Amino acid sequence: MQNRTLYFGDNLEILRKKIKDESFDLIYLDPPFNSNRNYNVLFKEGIQDSPAQIKAFDDSWHWTRESKEAFDYLVTKTNEDISSLMQALEKMVGHNDMLAYLTMMTVRLIELHRVLKKTGSLYLHCDPTASHYLKIVLDAIFWKKNFRNEIIWCYRGAGYPKKDFGKRHDIIFRYSKTDNYIFNLDDVREEYAEATKERFKYHIGNIRKGKDFGAQELNPLGKQPDDWWQIQPLAPSSKERLGYPTQKPEALLERIIKASSKEGDWILDPFCGCGTTVAVSEKLKRNWVGIDVTSLAINLIKYRIKNQFGLGNKQIFVDGLPTDLAGAKELFEKDPFEFEYWASDLVNAIPPHGKSKDNMRGADKGVDGVINILRNIVNGNKEYGKIIVQIKGGKVQRNQIATLKGDVDREKAEAGVFITLEKPTKPMKSEAVDAGTFTIPITNKVEFPKIQILTIEELLRGKKPDLPRYGLVKNYYKEAKASEMGGGGLVREGLGL
């Protein structure tokens, strides 16, 4: 297994095909689950026609033929505990998205249990919508005796429901694989409360009901943490914030990783999102593997790790994204949206505002990606401009270039880049040349093509768009951190948040 590997794809398939038994010391998973989604939606009956397409931000796993097959597999091909549990859950919750969610989680948790070392631990992050069901699933897979903690992650926040108590916590279940597991208590001790320190300052004995329990002292390394953790989620202005929805704070992962692994151990996050687990693992000198089903997450993590730790391209391994034309065609046929994300990344573009898997056209019609460039610096203030990117996987023709020209004007962009899987025709090329050139103040009158066409094949060979190098904002993570547009502005804008 290769340290610093990011797998692009469905974790179930990757776990089954690529990960050997007992490979990891620690697994943290934060599966998609929208806590705002209410029970009525989750318990709606009926099979949906579309396959269980797992979407990055929608968070929903529907009851489809795919989940029905997984359910049948769990009932007939696993073991009696799991089989009877699934049948009981079916009776209890019915055929709906909640059963689909539990089914999809169960098949994955069985694989995660398999890839965990005997001394390893698993932390499952969830919320009260499904935590009670997930705990029974975990008990069936890990056995009740290996349940270690139900950690309550509590935080403050704005806004309260009118007729309920404020909902201000997540749940993290901690299980070990056996009773011989790693727990580094001294690495996660906390500072004692001031009142406790004060009390112990004058304490000379511990006499209760006349019995002397001997002198007690505070542990110089600090207090043993309880199973409720008060850690603030990332504020909108936080420097750590990348704009990825559901991003967790590094402090949370730091405690988990320090408690349940040592330097050099192997950590897996099968739903790695924007890579909080892998970034903290890198910081704490652990080996790591991340899996995510969206290439946007994979690309973001690559940038996050490269920038945060000064690593080069060759030190991070991405598995599952196309490296040749055949792979690119395959990705386009399988998932045109992921193809767009992937192709955008080849030119350092970010998704435009309002674009998501549910809204393929996005809010900005005709824009598949945006490259932000630095136009000018006036009195120390940076002024940004944008290049719009259009990506085509299917047949291409001349009028698409004419349309791109119109889109550039409408969007008040500097220029347009047209990326295509197919070779462009001669009329397309002349239409692009006819569009002329542009220049920006910072490049001192140097001219660049207003419209340019690049094939995926050329990009894979290393060709780059002809754009102002000086002004090109090379990647969104770095820019998000340094941005003077205000705390991760580019990324937030890019993800349409």
Ligand X SMILES: C[S@@+](CC[C@H](N)C(=O)[O-])C[C@H]1O[C@@H](n2cnc3c(N)ncnc32)[C@H](O)[C@@H]1O
Q: Are 347 and 373 in contact (CB under 8 A)?
A: no
Of 70, 84, 71, whose CA–CA distance to 140 is shortest? Answer: 84
Measure the CA–CA gap between 428 and 396, rounded to whole angstroms. Answer: 9
244 contacts ligand X (rule: CB under 6 A)? yes
Query: Closest residue to ligand X, Cβ-based?
Result: 273
Q: Which is nearer to ligand X, 29 or 428 (CB)?
A: 29
Q: Which is nearer to ligand X, 276 or 390 (CB)?
A: 276
Q: How far is the CB of 304 from ligand X (least distance, A)?
A: 10
291 contacts ligand X (rule: CB under 6 A)? yes
Site for ligand X in 324-363 (CB under 6 A): none
Task: Read off the amino acid at residue 365.
Answer: K
Establish how many alpha carbons lie within 13 A of residue 481's alpha carbon, considering only the half-sphere containing its beta carbon: 11
Measure the CA–CA gap between 206 and 214, rounded to whole angstroms. Answer: 6
Q: How far is the CB of 246 from ligand X (least distance, A)?
A: 4
Q: Which of 60, 146, 260, 276 binds ligand X (CB under 6 A)?
A: 276
- The label of the residue with tokens 């910081």 reads 283
Q: Which is nearer to ligand X, 268 or 343 (CB)?
A: 268
Q: Are 266 and 24 in contact (CB under 8 A)?
A: yes
| Three-state secondary-structure class, residue 62 | coil
Q: How far is the CB of 323 from ligand X (least distance, A)?
A: 20
Neighbouring CB atoms inside 10 A of 209's CB total 4
Pairing of the two strands 451-455 and 415-420: parallel
Measure the CA–CA gap between 103 and 89, rounded to whole angstroms. Answer: 9
Q: How far is the CB of 297 from ligand X (least distance, A)?
A: 5
Q: Which of 60, 67, 246, 475 binds ligand X (CB under 6 A)?
A: 246
Q: How far is the CB of 340 from ligand X (least distance, A)?
A: 15
Q: Which of 123, 133, 271, 341 binds ligand X (CB under 6 A)?
A: 271
Q: Which of 274, 289, 370, 401 binds ligand X (CB under 6 A)?
A: 274
Q: Which of 62, 148, 241, 248 binds ligand X (CB under 6 A)?
A: 248
Q: Which of 52, 126, 280, 293 binds ligand X (CB under 6 A)?
A: 293
Where are the alpha helices (H) located in 288-368, listed in sequence order? 295-309, 325-334, 336-346
Contact residues toward ligand X (CB under 6 A) are 10-11, 30, 32, 54, 56, 244, 246-248, 271, 273-274, 276, 291-294, 297
